[in-house]
Structure 1
Amino acid sequence: MKNIEKQTFQNPILPGFYPDPSICRAGDDYYLITSSFGFFPGVPIFHSKDLVNWEQIGHVLDRPSQLNLDGGGISGGIYAPTIRYHNGTFYMVTTNITNGGNFIVTADNPAGPWSDPYWIENAPGIDPSLFFDEDGKVYFTAAWMAKDAHKFSDMEIWGQELDLTEMKLVGERHSLWRGALKNAHSPEGPHLYKVNGYYYLLIAEGGTQHFHAVTIARSKNVFGPYEGYEGNPILTHRHLGKKYPISNPGHADLVETQNGEWWMVALASRPYGGYYKNLGRETFLIPVEWEDEWPVVSPGTGRVESTYDVPNLPFFSVAKNEVRDDFEDEKLGFVWNGIRTPREDFYSLTERSGYLRLKLRPQKMVDVLKPPSMSMNPEENREDVIDHPSFIGRRQQHMNFTATVKMDFNPHNDDETAGLALVQNNNFQYRFECSMVDGQKVVRLIKCTSKTEMDYLKGTFSYENCETKLAEAPCNSDSLYLKITASGQDYSFFYGESLEKSQLLADNVDGRILNPDSAGGFVGTYIGMFASSNGNQSENAADFDWFDYEEIKSK
Structure 2
Amino acid sequence: MNTFRNPVIPGCYADPSVCRVGEDYYLVTSSFEYFPGVPIFHSKDLVNWRQLGHVLDRPSQLNLDGTPCSKGIYAATIRYHNSTFFMITTFVESVTGARKNFYVTATDPAGPWSDPVWLPDAPGIDPSLFFDDDGKCYVMANRQPPGGQQYPKHMEIWMQELDVTNGLLVGPKFSLWDGALKFVHAQEGPHMYKLNGYYYLIIAEGGTGHTHSVTIARSTSITGPYESCKRNPILTHRHLGLNHPVTNIGHADIVQTQDGEWWMFCLGSRPYGGYYRNLGRETFLVPFIWEDGWPVINPGKGYVELEMPRPSLPEHRWPSKPACDHFDAVNLAPEWNFIRTPRDSFMSLTDRPGHLRLKLKPETTTDFVNPSFVGRRQQHIRFAARTVLEFVPKSDKETAGLILLQNNDYQYRVEAARNEKNGVVRLVQRVEGEERTLAEHTVALAEAGKLYLKVEAIGQDYCFYFATQAELWTTLFEHADGTILSVDVAGGFSGTYIGLFASSNGESSVNHADFDYFEYMPLD
TM-score of Structure 1 vs Structure 2, range by shorter chain: over 0.9
- Give the TM-score of the pair, scaled to structure 2: 0.97
Letter matched to residue 323 of structure 1 = A
Structure 2 residue 227 is matched with structure 1 residue 227: yes
Q: Look up the match of 1:456.
A: none
Moved more, 512-521 or 203-212: 512-521
* Partner deviation per Cα, 1:230-283 (whole Å, 9 max, x = no partner): 000000011111000000100000001111110000000000000000000000
Q: Look up the match of 1:130.
A: 129
Deviation, 1:167, is: 1.1
* Partner deviation per Cα, 1:445-464 (whole Å, 9 max, x = no partner): 111111xxxxxxxxxxxxxx
Deviation, 1:300, is: 1.0
Equivalent runs, 1:117-266 vs 2, <5 Å = 117-147=116-146, 148-149=148-149, 153-266=153-266
- C-alpha distance in structure 1 between counterparts of 2:129 and 2:506, whole Å: 44
Q: Look up the match of 2:26.
A: 31
Letter matched to residue 181 of structure 1 = L
SS of residue in 2 equivalent to 1:126? coil
Structure 2 residue 330 is matched with structure 1 residue 330: yes
- C-alpha distance in structure 2 between counterparts of 1:319 and 1:211, whole Å: 38
Deviation, 1:121, is: 2.4
Letter matched to residue 157 of structure 1 = I
150 and 467 in structure 1: CA distance in 2 versus 1, 3 angstrom threshold: farther
Counterpart among 495, 509, 514 of residue 524 in structure 1: 495
Letter matched to residue 469 of structure 2 = S
Deviation, 1:150, is: 5.5
- C-alpha distance in structure 2 between counterparts of 1:494 and 1:259, whole Å: 51
- Poorly superposed stretches of 4+, deviation over 6 Å: none
Cα-Cα RMSD? 1.0
Q: Look up the match of 1:472.
A: 440
Structure 2 residue 439 is matched with structure 1 residue 484: no
Q: Look up the match of 1:387.
A: 369
- For the Cα contact (< 8 Å) 2:99–2:123, is it kept in 1? no
- For the Cα contact (< 8 Å) 1:413–1:439, is it kept in 2? no
Unaligned runs of 5+ in 1: 1-5, 368-385, 451-464
Q: Look up the match of 1:291.
A: 291
- C-alpha distance in structure 2 between counterparts of 1:177 and 1:471, whole Å: 55
- C-alpha distance in structure 1 between counterparts of 2:151 and 2:507, whole Å: 44
- C-alpha distance in structure 2 between counterparts of 1:38 and 1:107, whole Å: 23
- For the Cα contact (< 8 Å) 2:155–2:188, is it kept in 1? yes
432 and 150 in structure 1: CA distance in 2 versus 1, 3 angstrom threshold: farther
Deviation, 1:517, is: 2.2
- Give the TM-score of the pair, scaled to structure 1: 0.92
SS of residue in 2 equivalent to 1:63? coil
Structure 2 residue 480 is matched with structure 1 residue 502: no
Count of matched residue pairs: 516
Counterpart among 60, 64, 69 of residue 69 in structure 1: 64
- C-alpha distance in structure 2 between counterparts of 1:246 and 1:18, whole Å: 15
Q: Look up the match of 1:59.
A: 54
* Partner deviation per Cα, 1:463-514 (whole Å, 9 max, x = no partner): xx31111111111122100000000000000001123211001001000000
SS of residue in 2 equivalent to 1:84? strand
Deviation, 1:291, is: 0.1
Structure 2 residue 89 is matched with structure 1 residue 94: yes
- For the Cα contact (< 8 Å) 1:424–1:514, is it kept in 2? yes
- C-alpha distance in structure 2 between counterparts of 1:19 and 1:252, whole Å: 10
SS of residue in 2 equivalent to 1:80? coil
Deviation, 1:151, is: 6.0
Q: Look up the match of 1:408.
A: 390
* Partner deviation per Cα, 1:522-543 (whole Å, 9 max, x = no partner): 1000000000000000000000
- C-alpha distance in structure 1 between counterparts of 2:346 and 2:67, whole Å: 19
Counterpart among 15, 22, 36 of residue 17 in structure 2: 22
Letter matched to residue 208 of structure 2 = T
- C-alpha distance in structure 1 between counterparts of 2:522 and 2:471, whole Å: 20
* Partner deviation per Cα, 1:92-135 (whole Å, 9 max, x = no partner): 00001127710010000000000000001200110000000011
Letter matched to residue 254 of structure 2 = L
Q: Look up the match of 1:41.
A: 36
Letter matched to residue 393 of structure 2 = P
100 and 143 in structure 1: CA distance in 2 versus 1, 3 angstrom threshold: closer
Q: Look up the match of 1:11.
A: 6
- C-alpha distance in structure 2 between counterparts of 1:449 and 1:177, whole Å: 41
- For the Cα contact (< 8 Å) 1:178–1:184, is it kept in 2? no
- C-alpha distance in structure 2 between counterparts of 1:173 and 1:518, whole Å: 40
- C-alpha distance in structure 1 between counterparts of 2:117 and 2:318, whole Å: 33
- C-alpha distance in structure 1 between counterparts of 2:272 and 2:282, whole Å: 14
Deviation, 1:181, is: 1.4
- C-alpha distance in structure 1 between counterparts of 2:8 and 2:73, whole Å: 22
SS of residue in 2 equivalent to 1:273? coil
* Partner deviation per Cα, 1:26-61 (whole Å, 9 max, x = no partner): 011000010000000011100011000001111000
Q: Look up the match of 2:282.
A: 282
Q: Look up the match of 1:436.
A: 418
Moved more, 265-274 or 490-499: 490-499
- C-alpha distance in structure 1 between counterparts of 2:151 and 2:506, whole Å: 40
- C-alpha distance in structure 1 between counterparts of 2:197 and 2:79, whole Å: 20
Unaligned runs of 5+ in 2: none
Letter matched to residue 84 of structure 1 = R
